[in-house]
Structure 1
């Protein structure tokens, strides 16, 4: 049965989950019949030829291309996606497109074959070239970028290493910021002797209401010297007007660390659009690089305001790479970055952003008339991408939202995730991807209607 058929009327039928096979845990006792022979594991099937990169056609406006399902079916063919469920939880990390997956496998084999020789002689100059390529895509200089294992490591190094705090100063974050970054900010209380302030982003989060909330928080806490700011947060997908908030913070002598882990490769922007001096990025989310890849950014002239990582002496103090020390790494993800950037460039940031917003709009606009469905991500285009959270009115507990996401999977085979953290209660996060089809989000809209009936307060 196709997903289109389910959307047409069969979505309400329960879909039984396959039960895992039980495995024998003990050997047969003496005298028992001989165990059946173990079937040999068949060799892996030959992989199909890797498809060519799909490029966005010249002259077609991104918003119009976003609705061209035939074009995006061709893009989806470049991803190996399980047919067992509809994956709408792509915010955790992004599936590698086929060209990147194959390049990663080649790099794993190359690393294994050349071993320490690659790490000691070949990797560093090659990684330096790749830093330049990343900088070019971001609108930054190579010397402003240092690779990390993920966006979290980049945030922790920037927050923990920020050295302009003095006892009596304050730091601030919001309820929607990433939990690991919140923990790092809390840690500064003991390490730097500062006070930790927490603000709440308003619901509904209009652009003006959000700007007013940050202006009020900075005014009411004049001792704040460091602000954590999520460009696109991982809980509801809200996109903040970062440039304006950075500017108002700078007027008050407040530095800002921007968490751009979810936005780069998802939205169309450069580092100058953010106006930030410090930022953290993930490469294994919306850029489709293998897991274990991210980077931090420190604007030229601000390097002295971040400590060396554990007094690292691998690089000189005037080299940004001295602000990261991750030990011996799996370098295959970094070596695969150029192929991921090739894939990104072929489509273009504007086309990716338009398609991801289109998928979000398609399902949201089918359910926003339901009285007890709260959409937590605003309709203003600059303030959202594809990540969107919803909540059933009155169902704000962790248990409620786990039950809702379980129901979506058990009945409709749609995989989502419950998110906590928003001040007004938990929610369910929905994250389509480039391989998501129109039928997938139509099925979600049908399923949300069912959820709204079943979980009404």
Structure 2
């Protein structure tokens, strides 16, 4: 906690900036410095509304629509927006000079900063634009031959499933699909669903850390350990877990991993990173080639052409903001917010909850449904009548909306959701009784 006083002073400069940014130290930020001295366990602070009100003040979210789809893409705190805008203005003074000769020099310091946050070596991280780009780089970069098997699930993210389907169509590999039984509060059962699909031809297993459809936290480490015993490589989709769950990438035991930083880290839109275990880098071909596409330098994956250098450099400010809150406190708050509303509606007649309330199995994301109302219709009613922005979910037996609060969301905000779900469930139940009569 002794470093908290430097938190917002760090926000006044972006990662490895070759110049000094304007002072972003607002009066709100100065007051928040004092609030960051708050002591107590993460679980205690999770319910300290005075503390979190100062965090909320750092966001510029709409007062009219309640955004409960932070899992799709998160808003940035004001300090990150200011850093991004300043870098953007700086770049426009002489784009080819300031972007390519000046800002580009900040990538190595930013890489080191992200590596420290992720618990990896800087030489294992590539900075890119999102999880889809990172995971597609890995999926298309691995050398696989016809007949090689890849184990994945029908609950993985569509962009990744489509990438694997393309490899199947183009290269003749075999995809072994799992239909996971979710929600689950049994790690051993989840692991068994994967290991029972392993054969002598299995070369890769693809695991989503936090499943976007339900919020289920998967036991990646246990699956990875079982896979490695059979010589199987492990790809982890960390899009919804990084800066959400409290972990370091090596804790997962995977060989390959990627995330979007514009989700839970609240970095600029279109920012992400990819991890490849050091000794595996040479085995992955660069998706966008360079002079050494099969080399052992992680930087071979950053030949993206002209990118948003302003957005990239502002990632460092988002890291500072995240560290100022603290990973453990952040997860405790997110889990508390999910349970706050879910506990209030789970026993309402006609309401179905498709997500665990235990912190080992789910964090902020949760899916709720109402009998007789399809997911898209429920999403439409929540937005049209109550001005609540959610995500419709329809996958197999799961039919409802995904609700995703963030650190700026308050229990009072979520009371609006509780009222809406209760009223809609009541109306649906009454309509059902009238129809029967």
Normalising by structure 1, we get a TM-score of: 0.84
Equivalence for 1:198:
177
Size of the aligned set, in residue pairs, is 403
Equivalence for 2:28:
51
Residues 333, 407 of structure 2: 8 Å contact kept = yes
Show structure 2 runs of 5+ residues with no match: 1-23, 433-437
Equivalence for 1:25:
none
1:10-42: per-residue Cα shift (whole Å, max 9, x none)? xxxxxxxxxxxxxxxxxxxxxxxxxxxxxxxxx
Equivalence for 1:97:
77
Q: Aligned-pair RMSD on alpha carbons?
A: 2.0
Q: 1:416 aligns with which of 390, 401, 419?
A: 390
Change (3 A) 1:100 1:311: closer
* Higher deviation after alignment, 113-122 or 435-444: 113-122
Q: 1:369 aligns with which of 342, 347, 352?
A: 347
Q: 1:108 aligns with which of 88, 91, 94?
A: 88
Secondary structure in 2 matching 1:281:
strand
* Higher deviation after alignment, 169-178 or 343-352: 169-178
Give the Å deviation of 1:452. Answer: 2.0
Q: Does 1:245 align with 2:223?
A: yes
Change (3 A) 1:129 1:102: same
Equivalence for 2:367:
389
Q: 1:454 aligns with which of 427, 431, 434?
A: 427
In 1, the alpha carbon distance for the partners of 2:45 and 2:349 equals 32
Q: Does 1:79 align with 2:59?
A: yes
Q: Does 1:255 align with 2:239?
A: no
Q: 2:194 aligns with which of 196, 202, 214?
A: 214
Residues 87, 415 of structure 1: 8 Å contact kept = yes
In 2, the alpha carbon distance for the partners of 1:182 and 1:324 equals 23
Equivalence for 2:417:
444
Q: Does 1:189 align with 2:168?
A: yes
Show structure 1 runs of 5+ residues with no match: 1-46
Residues 285, 294 of structure 2: 8 Å contact kept = no
In 1, the alpha carbon distance for the partners of 2:282 and 2:81 equals 38
Q: Does 1:124 align with 2:104?
A: yes
Secondary structure in 1 matching 2:278:
coil
1:39-69: per-residue Cα shift (whole Å, max 9, x none)? xxxxxxxx99473274643531010001011
Change (3 A) 1:50 1:294: farther
Larger radius of gyration: 1
In 1, the alpha carbon distance for the partners of 2:294 and 2:27 equals 42
Normalising by structure 2, we get a TM-score of: 0.88
Secondary structure in 2 matching 1:358:
helix
In 1, the alpha carbon distance for the partners of 2:171 and 2:294 equals 25
In 2, the alpha carbon distance for the partners of 1:310 and 1:120 equals 19
Equivalence for 1:280:
258
Residues 355, 367 of structure 2: 8 Å contact kept = yes
Residues 389, 428 of structure 1: 8 Å contact kept = yes
Change (3 A) 1:371 1:250: farther
Residues 80, 314 of structure 2: 8 Å contact kept = yes
Equivalence for 1:23:
none
Equivalence for 1:434:
407
Q: Does 1:307 align with 2:285?
A: yes
Give the Å deviation of 1:309. Answer: 2.6
Give the Å deviation of 1:222. Answer: 4.4
Give the Å deviation of 1:322. Answer: 1.1
1:377-423: per-residue Cα shift (whole Å, max 9, x none)? 1122111110111123455xxxx211101111122111111023x33
Q: Which runs of 4+ in 1 moved over 6 A?
A: none
1:232-286: per-residue Cα shift (whole Å, max 9, x none)? 1211111111111111111222211111111111111001211111000111111
Equivalence for 1:404:
378
In 2, the alpha carbon distance for the partners of 1:404 and 1:378 equals 21
Equivalence for 1:14:
none
Change (3 A) 1:288 1:50: farther
Equivalence for 1:177:
156
Residues 137, 286 of structure 2: 8 Å contact kept = no
Question: Within 5 Å, which residues of 2 pair with 1:132-147?
Answer: 132-147=112-127
